[in-house]
Structure 1
């Protein structure tokens, strides 16, 4: 009863564990999150744990970008063919793209600042941490994970590092997205031709419009998987500290220096 009353008094939480996902708030650099939103709209929100908004913005980016021909224009611009890049752009779609793109950067930056404040307040309230959740379809548990493993799996294929960390929502989304992008960009065929030394065929078969999505997906998956593994380990250590302090440490225990320094 006392634990339930104490839980009701807690206003803020820094973590939530469901059977399909573990969502967590921790201190983030707002400029880093804004940069990820600029690199690919939706990634900043995905990193903040705002999954529904992040998924929606990522799908929006792919649909509107293809309609506007932005990736094609970028490829032609990199090759110095500015006239062709100008002709490829569809102004009706570009005008829809610009305001939402700016909003993604602005919103993710300010959301990061607000969540950082929330994290510090919840930390002062000693917010509880759930370590285990099980239902008939799945289970989830907080445990020590190796950040290097998460990074390596993400480098092998985006999304696998998230699945290793039991981030099923974002991991499955990244996994399926990279399959779709790899299919429409003909990335696998280009890799096979490259391995066989047929570089001209690889360049001819590769669709640059779809391939431009892949580097951002690849780098983001590797970066986020590593960071999440580090932060989940910190959360695991915090839960152990809370448990030992409440259930093992004697109530009369005092850290050295608390009274000793006053007496001396």
Structure 2
């Protein structure tokens, strides 16, 4: 692998003192949605922060000049004539063009990022995970997605600080302070808590208040997703390191290399099921001898399954993405209609946030249950049996296909002459 090609498609970039920019495959519809919820958020989620922050500033500026949020609020309440009167056409059509472009561009860039990730994964053999300077030491470590989410929910920006995304932390704090200041959000919370709902309705400014659902939901999702991505990148970097440093050709493998001819090994993991015996017998039918197969049952730690990723385990099956999307939508609707309902926009926005979040969890839970390689909670099933097959390079693809078809949880190959796959 040429050094030039490796640098061309790097999937991890460190900066000092801010944290790493990490390429990670993402469904393009996710950044498109967050661009629709708040222009700029989608670009931030796919590691284009400069473009993202510029679009966020544009959203705050032009939305307020055109009174888009206030027009949305009045339209949702059925007061269409007042909505027409309040909108400023000088800025409204400018806003529409940039708004649509933002969704298109975030989708396009995400597709390009996914392609670059594939190339970087294929060409990068070893990832540098530490960068130091006189200002800071930036190290890629595993983090807790729940901790990042918790602090982000307490105060937007703190989750980014926990992840060492310092620029994101600063921008989040500034944008949040400006939004709650002009919307008088905390004043509305105070009057809601003492039961003065009518005062809460009159004190809040809908133009600024309607920014909060998208901002808050986007902050929370960004913190959680970046924590999960960081953990995945750590796993990839560690796998590269182990293959590079701890797959010596001098290691005495349980199935020794045959004299003459090219020998390689395929290692697969399973959970206990009849699929293991089906795989073994099928391998025998295509000519693999029993002496070329080595199966090792494991004693597995009995641990209760977790609904969320943590610092020690991330599988990429996020229950938070749909929950934050539906939570922000329902929070927005609750915030709008709360102005005409008895308990006011603060409580109804809270009801919407909780209700939409729970609905998102339930929908994702039902979908995950149907995935064959995952358990009830979306976690990858535990490895209970490790199997090693000695073969030649002529039939390795056929053996891999048999193992995958018989529910292998994971699979790799090892060539004693070259190292791991």
The TM-score with structure 1 as length reference comes to 0.93
Q: Distance in 2 between matches of 1:115 and 1:176?
A: 29
2:45 aligned residue (44, 47, 51): 47
By percentage of residues, which structure has more helix? 1
Residues 186 and 207 of structure 1 are in contact (CA less than 8 Å); yes or no, is this contact kept in structure 2?
A: yes
Q: Distance in 2 between matches of 1:135 and 1:141?
A: 12
Q: Distance in 2 between matches of 1:181 and 1:242?
A: 44
Residues 142 and 236 of structure 1 are in contact (CA less than 8 Å); yes or no, is this contact kept in structure 2?
A: yes
Residues 13 and 128 of structure 1 are in contact (CA less than 8 Å); yes or no, is this contact kept in structure 2?
A: no
Match runs of 1:139-218 below 5 Å: 139-218=137-216
By percentage of residues, which structure has more strand? 2
Residues 21 and 169 of structure 1 are in contact (CA less than 8 Å); yes or no, is this contact kept in structure 2?
A: no
2:11 aligned residue (14, 17, 32): 14
Can you give the 5+ residue segments of structure 1 that lack an aligned partner in the other structure?
none
Superposed displacement of residue 6, structure 1: 5.3
Count of aligned pairs between the two proteins? 260
Partner in structure 1 of residue 237 of structure 2: 239
Can you give the 5+ residue segments of structure 2 that lack an aligned partner in the other structure?
252-263, 268-387, 400-421
Partner in structure 1 of residue 223 of structure 2: 225
Spell out, residue by residue over 1:8-42, the C-alpha distance to the aligned partner (whole angstroms, 9 max, x if none): 34221111111212101110111111111111111
- Larger RCO: Structure 1 or Structure 2 (Cα < 8 Å, ≥ 6 residues apart)? 1
Q: Which has the larger radius of gyration?
A: 2
Spell out, residue by residue over 1:43-79, the C-alpha distance to the aligned partner (whole angstroms, 9 max, x if none): 1111111011101000001100001010110111111
2:98 aligned residue (93, 97, 100): 100
Select between 247-256 and 83-92 the one with higher mean Cα deviation.
Answer: 247-256
Q: Distance in 1 between matches of 2:93 and 2:265?
A: 62
Residues 17 and 133 of structure 1 are in contact (CA less than 8 Å); yes or no, is this contact kept in structure 2?
A: yes
Residues 13 and 127 of structure 1 are in contact (CA less than 8 Å); yes or no, is this contact kept in structure 2?
A: no
2:390 aligned residue (237, 240, 260): 260
Residues 9 and 124 of structure 2 are in contact (CA less than 8 Å); yes or no, is this contact kept in structure 1?
A: no
Across the aligned residues of Structure 1 and Structure 2, the Cα RMSD in angstroms comes to 1.9
Superposed displacement of residue 256, structure 1: 4.1
Partner in structure 2 of residue 85 of structure 1: 83
